[in-house]
A and B are shown apart, each in its own frame.
Chain A
């Protein structure tokens, strides 16, 4: 945790110092291009790395009743048996975090009055689901909103999202709910990692770092919108320069902007080499993305080894006498076999 904090702070300081010390070109032009290329290429490379291994067996985790007899109702979305149903299951998983929604919290009571002894009690535990969902959707909205800097003219759909996001009309510039909730969700996820004994025990540098990096991105972003305001007209000029492949200087933009941009670039650079790959990974998940139809349709394993087993003939050879005595039907009678 401390190491991750130090790393994020260090990145921020380097970017700040770089922006102030004449390295603005490096941080605001070279780094973004490198980051985008590594991000896109890196993610696709990892996807190809996964795809190079086959799916030898079809192992969906069934989350409900299978399709069997016609008088028994199938849980179509938790135990799909067709491609269409599987697509729905995947959509539920990707868009609503279906599996995480099931989450429970188990508590072991040593002296339960009903059990007259130990008992495990399960509580519905939706907080992780709520904040995970909140984080991902807010992040998505924030990313979409940033397209006002990438496109000219700004498409109406982005304006609608902005209107909706700022519907409460609090403050000037209008407060965007997504940005605030994004920070709240991230802080929840971080606090959970620190407070929950189990999660703290499993957490590594690679868990704290992306969280803190995201908090850094959101904090600098919020700061530039609400506190130490950046001139967004200049921001747009700079960003449009980048996306038109004719970069302009960051003159007139605050150092905080360079820090924000650098954090985003570091996130993109880090992404393909880290657990953040769960984004494309979920689509590959073999326990979710196939129908539960292995008895209905044969799944082929490309490296299926040849069959090698103790055959019936060998078995009969071994036990023929006993089998004959027990009156079992035989392929070869003992006297024939002896010949």
Chain B
């Protein structure tokens, strides 16, 4: 990775708007501005259309001969399938309210990163074929035909959008750029254009059960290791049930939590919590991926990867599914899952019900899938777990709302409720950067790849700035989140924009604060770092009494 400029240099180097009309200006495919293309064999194995070798930096992208017809037909098909697309193409008034809502625009000052103009790239093509004015007046009303440079432009900007939907919140008509970006990406896939960082996890998830391609035995091995670590810290080795039939709950979390630092600590939090509750649950190595990179490819690919959840719940006879902390996973689960692959298997209970508190999760009655923050908030509300928030006293935390739970689900208070119960020091970031107005980490929707690190730092600037602000003002040294991609991407982002802030999942902090029956005195947090203010040699209060 090339050395990054300083934050100040990065922001000072934002270019002015080009002098020419956006219809004439074309993007420059400089290294670092695009993701690497998907491998041919990956695309072939997934039966994607027109797999081919191509290089974004090259003049010729080796598109199939009839590429224009393919794209026109594909566009027509999408218009017939999605009312949203027709509507969003027709009703934008270009009021510009969305412009400075986009983190990519704020970070790059590239006008085509204004959501309105990103959509205009496609809208200009729509105008020529589907509107009277465009047919009659052509380019003077912003209509244009397909050509290869337009395809390149679509690719460039469809992969500089993280489908975070912040613009959609502010749009007076609710025009959702995520929908447009998703459909543009679908169109590009029709002519064999995809990115490695998305397609590789999709392939892995298709054939091994998770994005990282962890095979079943390795998956078990890693989880066992994490359970061993739990034992080192707490003296208790949590149980690790896999692929077992007849349990009430199937637990599915993004595989990043099993594999990547700091997600693994969140995973340890889950293990400890479930063990303490003696929860009747199982993991699955087959449905070992909560996330869904398919949703960054096409609706059908998202459906395909998602299908394993219900299939596995049915095979194992689970009554309901508990879902771990993940952003785009919950976009799919909350808004698409029941539609894609429902109705839920008949073995599942009518309304998912917490076996610990008896609370019925009516809001998940159809999908039968409950978010772990909802589950844990309910436990805390009903005093079913003992917590010692002082174990997190060495941190002053803030909370990053992930785009998808915030704007495609409305999961705002549950994680805060949990966080406040397990941490004594909680500070909110500025109000225009949290809750439904939250800013993306800058690397969502499959853009969390190394080759575009500078772009990611730019796109993450609003989030990084807000974090920096509370760091400087309130000595915040920690940021909690409920998203696996966030855990992976906010770490470099924090290092860049607010060095000294650590990032973790919510349940890592729950795991830290959880007082377990029969545990040893905690001297370390889940990262096996010494807890301050704890003298490891001084015996624990309970133990002391026991000895007397």
Residues of A within 8 A of B (CB): 3, 46, 49-69, 71-75, 78-79, 81, 93, 97, 99-100, 102-106, 108, 110-111, 114-120, 122, 128, 132, 196-199, 201-207, 273-275, 277-278, 281-282, 284-288, 292-301, 303-305, 307-312, 315-316, 318-319, 322-323, 325-329
Q: Is the CB of B174 within 8 A of A285?
A: yes
Within 8 Å by CB of B140, from A97, A205, A325, lies A205
In the assembled complex, how far is the CB of residue B435 from the closest CB belonging to chain A, in whole angstroms?
8
A288/B174 contact (C-beta < 8 A), A53-B82, A115-B469, A201-B22 known: yes
Q: CA A120 – CA B82 in complex, angstroms?
A: 36
| Chain B, Cβ-Cβ closest to A299 | B339
A118/B461 contact (C-beta < 8 A), A72-B417, A198-B99 known: yes
A307/B307 contact (C-beta < 8 A), A106-B106, A118-B465, A287-B176 known: yes
A-B contact count (CB 8 A): 331
A102/B132 contact (C-beta < 8 A), A315-B209, A319-B215 known: no
Q: Is the CB of B216 within 8 A of A328?
A: yes
Contacts of A285 in B (CB 8 A): 87, 173-175
> Which residues between 96 and 129 of chain B lie within 8 Å of chain A, taking CB atoms?
96-97, 99-101, 106, 111, 114, 116-117, 120
Q: CA A118 – CA B172 in complex, angstroms?
A: 30
Q: Is the CB of B217 within 8 A of A326?
A: yes
Within 8 Å by CB of A322, from B172, B207, B216, lies B216
| Chain A, Cβ-Cβ closest to B103 | A120
Interface assignment of B528: CB less than 8 Å from any CB of chain A? no
| Chain A, Cβ-Cβ closest to B413 | A72
9 residue pairs, one from A and one from B, having the closest CB atoms: A66-B410, A281-B91, A287-B174, A62-B410, A122-B432, A326-B217, A199-B96, A53-B83, A309-B307
Q: CA A69 – CA B187 in complex, angstroms?
A: 40
Q: CA A68 – CA B361 in complex, angstroms?
A: 7
Contacts of B131 in A (CB 8 A): 273
Q: Is the CB of A201 within 8 A of B469?
A: no
A3/B339 contact (C-beta < 8 A), A53-B83, A117-B7, A298-B366 known: no
A53/B364 contact (C-beta < 8 A), A72-B413, A102-B169, A303-B81 known: no
Q: CA A310 – CA B289 in complex, angstroms?
A: 13
Q: CA A328 – CA B223 in complex, angstroms?
A: 13
Q: Is the CB of B140 within 8 A of A3?
A: yes
Contacts of B120 in A (CB 8 A): 202
Q: Is the CB of B94 within 8 A of A69?
A: no
Q: CA A61 – CA B30 in complex, angstroms?
A: 34
Q: Is the CB of A326 within 8 A of B176?
A: no
Q: CA A51 – CA B290 in complex, angstroms?
A: 34
| Chain B, Cβ-Cβ closest to A327 | B220
| Chain A, Cβ-Cβ closest to B431 | A122
Q: Is the CB of A119 within 8 A of B304?
A: no
Q: CA A293 – CA B472 in complex, angstroms?
A: 40
In the assembled complex, how far is the CB of residue B402 from the closest CB belonging to chain A, in whole angstroms?
13
| Chain B, Cβ-Cβ closest to A322 | B217
| Chain B, Cβ-Cβ closest to A3 | B140
Chief secondary structure at chain A's binding surface? loop
In the assembled complex, how far is the CB of residue B493 from the closest CB belonging to chain A, in whole angstroms?
14
Q: CA A323 – CA B216 in complex, angstroms?
A: 6
Q: List 29 A-B contacts (CB under 8 A).
A: A53-B79, A62-B406, A62-B409, A62-B410, A63-B169, A73-B413, A93-B172, A97-B172, A104-B100, A104-B101, A114-B473, A116-B472, A117-B7, A118-B461, A120-B461, A122-B432, A199-B99, A202-B114, A205-B142, A207-B94, A287-B176, A295-B363, A297-B365, A300-B339, A309-B206, A309-B304, A318-B207, A326-B216, A329-B243
| Chain A, Cβ-Cβ closest to B472 | A114
In the assembled complex, how far is the CB of residue B43 from the closest CB belonging to chain A, in whole angstroms?
16
Contacts of A51 in B (CB 8 A): 83
Within 8 Å by CB of A315, from B85, B286, B411, lies B286
In the assembled complex, how far is the CB of residue A48 from the closest CB belonging to chain B, in whole angstroms?
11
Q: CA A288 – CA B176 in complex, angstroms?
A: 10
Q: Is the CB of B165 within 8 A of A319?
A: no
Q: Is the CB of B170 within 8 A of A304?
A: no
Chief secondary structure at chain B's binding surface? helix
Contacts of A74 in B (CB 8 A): 410
Interface assignment of B342: CB less than 8 Å from any CB of chain A? yes
Q: CA A110 – CA B11 in complex, angstroms?
A: 7
Contacts of A68 in B (CB 8 A): 361, 363, 374, 411, 414
Q: CA A224 – CA B473 in complex, angstroms?
A: 60
A69/B359 contact (C-beta < 8 A), A311-B311, A326-B220 known: yes
Contacts of B465 in A (CB 8 A): 115, 118-120
A66/B365 contact (C-beta < 8 A), A110-B11, A120-B106, A295-B333 known: no
Q: CA A269 – CA B299 in complex, angstroms?
A: 38
Q: CA A296 – CA B430 in complex, angstroms?
A: 32
Q: Is the CB of B80 within 8 A of A69?
A: no
Interface assignment of B248: CB less than 8 Å from any CB of chain A? no
Q: Is the CB of B83 within 8 A of A55?
A: yes
Q: Is the CB of B84 within 8 A of A59?
A: yes
Q: Is the CB of B116 within 8 A of A206?
A: no
**Would you give the 0/1 interface string for B3-26, flagging 1 where the beta carbon is closer than 8 Å to chain A?**
000011011101001000010000
Within 8 Å by CB of B338, from A75, A298, A311, lies A298
Q: CA A111 – CA B9 in complex, angstroms?
A: 11
Contacts of B215 in A (CB 8 A): 319, 322
Q: Is the CB of A312 within 8 A of B83?
A: no
A59/B340 contact (C-beta < 8 A), A120-B462, A287-B168, A329-B243 known: no
Interface assignment of B482: CB less than 8 Å from any CB of chain A? no
Q: Is the CB of B300 within 8 A of A102?
A: no
In the assembled complex, how far is the CB of residue B272 from the closest CB belonging to chain A, in whole angstroms?
22
Q: Is the CB of B338 within 8 A of A294?
A: yes
Within 8 Å by CB of A108, from B101, B106, B170, B334, lies B106
Interface assignment of B68: CB less than 8 Å from any CB of chain A? no
Q: CA A114 – CA B474 in complex, angstroms?
A: 11
Q: CA A233 – CA B168 in complex, angstroms?
A: 49
In the assembled complex, how far is the CB of residue B224 from the closest CB belonging to chain A, in whole angstroms?
9
Q: Is the CB of A304 within 8 A of B11?
A: no
Q: Is the CB of A203 within 8 A of B173?
A: no
| Chain B, Cβ-Cβ closest to A275 | B93
Contacts of B142 in A (CB 8 A): 204-206
Q: Is the CB of A105 within 8 A of B100?
A: yes
> Which residues between 239 and 262 of chain B lie within 8 Å of chain A, taking CB atoms?
242-245
Q: Is the CB of A207 within 8 A of B93?
A: yes
> Which residues between 357 and 401 of chain B lie within 8 Å of chain A, taking CB atoms?
359, 361-367, 369, 374, 377-378, 381
Q: CA A106 – CA B87 in complex, angstroms?
A: 28
**Would you give the 0/1 interface string for B402-442, flagging 1 where the beta carbon is closer than 8 Å to chain A?**
00001111111110010000000000001011011100000
Contacts of B521 in A (CB 8 A): none
Contacts of B362 in A (CB 8 A): 296
> Which residues between 148 and 173 of chain B lie within 8 Å of chain A, taking CB atoms?
165, 168-173
Within 8 Å by CB of A304, from B79, B91, B339, lies B339
| Chain A, Cβ-Cβ closest to B439 | A120
Interface assignment of B277: CB less than 8 Å from any CB of chain A? no
Q: Is the CB of B87 within 8 A of A72?
A: no
| Chain A, Cβ-Cβ closest to B307 | A309
Within 8 Å by CB of B172, from A100, A106, A329, lies A100
Kindly list 20 other residue pairs between chains A and B, CB separation below 8 angstroms, not including A59-B335, A68-B363, A277-B91: A50-B86, A51-B83, A60-B408, A62-B410, A64-B412, A65-B410, A67-B410, A118-B11, A198-B114, A284-B83, A286-B176, A288-B173, A294-B367, A295-B363, A298-B367, A309-B307, A312-B308, A312-B312, A328-B243, A328-B285
In the assembled complex, how far is the CB of residue B289 from the closest CB belonging to chain A, in whole angstroms?
12
Interface assignment of B95: CB less than 8 Å from any CB of chain A? yes
In the assembled complex, how far is the CB of residue B254 from the closest CB belonging to chain A, in whole angstroms?
18
